[in-house]
Amino acid sequence: MTFIPARYSHLTFGVIQSGLTSGVSAAVASVPFWQEQSFLLHWLSAWSISWLIMLPIVIMAAPVIRAFVHRMTREY
């Protein structure tokens, strides 16, 4: 198995997280196309567009969100 260097873990997380999130939301938005038997085509189109938009947003927002959460939480 090929491993990705740890210094790219934030990018790897961003790719996986944005792909999963956009895939699920595209599937939900494509449900009305199930009966027309064009669900897969519509889902693939919606997912690819939303993933291309979400990937840079997630990669840029993740460090900000992580810092915000770190300020909101503490160890007991």
Specify whether the CB–CB gap between 10 and 62 falls below 8 A. yes
What is the distance between the alpha carbons of residues 19 and 17, in angstroms, rounded to a whole number? 5
Per-residue model confidence as pLDDT tens digits over 42-76 = 999 999 999 999 999 999 998 898 889 889 998 88
Q: Give the model's pLDDT for residue 23.
A: 94
Q: What whole-number percentage of the chain has pLDDT above 90?
A: 62
17 Cβ contact list (under 8 Å, min separation 6): 58, 62
Contact between 43 and 27 under an 8 Å Cβ cutoff? The reply is yes
Delimit the domains of the chain by residue range: 37-71
* Residue 9 clears pLDDT 90, i.e. is over it: no
Tracing tokens 């693939």 back to the chain, one arrives at: 44
